[in-house]
Amino acid sequence: MKITALAGGVGGAKLAHGLAQILPPEDLTIIVNTGDDFEHLGLSICPDLDTVCYTLAGLANPETGWGRVNETWNTITNVEKLGGPNWFRLGDQDIATHLERTRRLKGGEPLSQITRDFCKAWGISHTILPMTDSPVRTIVDSDEGELAFQEYFVHRQCGPKVKGFRFDGVDVAEPAFGVREAVESAEAIVICPSNPWVSVDPILRVIPLPKKKIVAVSPIIGGKTVKGPAAKMYAELGIEPSALAVAEHYRDLLSGFVLDNVDAHLSDKIRTRTLVTDTLMNSLTDRARLAMDVLNFIGSL
């Protein structure tokens, strides 16, 4: 079954990894949010792309989900000694990724080609693509004014109250090379358990999804997120954080919705077909199990 998965940060990367454990490379393409990207220390940083790539390559830091495993911090420590910013924790191995990506972007190469080459270098056989090759930047409107995404998420630790989001550049951004084909040729689209507001919405703004099977997995379990600020964002936007709110966020885009056992009571309120299962992914086998559940669910639609 040919699948195209839409993913953002850590939660999305885990399900993408589960799907990659089951589907052969020719049957899975992963399209990743780039709204979190930013320039920092003169480097072009693509956190969600790197989180998905490192996760599929088995290189991701298992504690944080982002950055590299067995990392050292000599460079950022010395940047701090020189009075430079150290709030965005860039590990020594991770900096190599940003140096080489920045060099090639400055040389005019598209982000999608750079990402394909990096995947080869990291031994990833599945196709991972940025949603677009043009710059898109998520701006968080908050009670402290507008904040660039990483400023909000990392520097301010998601403290400010969100009032809304906008995605600079999204109206002129075209889907990256290979994205349209991946979406058209897929039997189904899987929206991974990523933040609907800041990880999935940017992708949906860049890539209009065709009429086909689309299944989303809720990132909210029992009214909370496993990781990240999605539930807090819902609450600050005046919406009760729940799997139901996520299903309604995607409105009539969905053919199916996957929610956790603890939220089973919500499934009859959801207007699309639902699968109730264990959506927590604490291990590699959990990732493959949830991916298998999702694929079987798609097969039943």
Listed ranges 71-79, 83-91, 171-179, 255-263: which one lies at the site for ligand FO1 (CB under 6 A): 83-91
Restricting to residues 50-69, which ones interact with ligand FO1 according to CB under 6 A? Answer: 50-51, 66-67
By CB under 6 A, residue 154 contacts ligand FO1: yes
Closer to ligand FO1 by Cβ: residue 73 or 177: 73
The answer to whether the CB of 115 falls within 8 A of the CB of 104 is no
Closer to ligand FO1 by Cβ: residue 153 or 297: 153
Listed ranges 8-16, 132-140, 169-177, 237-245: which one lies at the site for ligand FO1 (CB under 6 A): 8-16
> Nearest distance from residue 154's CB to ligand FO1, in Å?
4
Listed ranges 6-14, 171-179, 213-221, 259-267: which one lies at the site for ligand FO1 (CB under 6 A): 6-14
Q: Quick one: which of 36, 236, 260, 293 contacts ligand FO1 (CB under 6 A)?
A: 36
For the purposes of burial, counting CB atoms within 10 Å of the CB of 59, is it exposed (0-12), middle (13-18) or buried (19 or more)? Answer: buried
Listed ranges 7-15, 20-28, 102-110, 239-247: which one lies at the site for ligand FO1 (CB under 6 A): 7-15
> Nearest distance from residue 65's CB to ligand FO1, in Å?
7
Q: Quick one: which of 53, 95, 114, 153 contacts ligand FO1 (CB under 6 A)?
A: 153
Q: Determine the Cα–Cα distance for residues 135 and 92; give it in Å rounded to an integer.
A: 25
> Nearest distance from residue 297's CB to ligand FO1, in Å?
26
Q: Which residues lie near ligand FO1 (CB under 6 A)?
A: 8-10, 36, 47-48, 50-51, 66-67, 88-90, 94, 150, 153-154
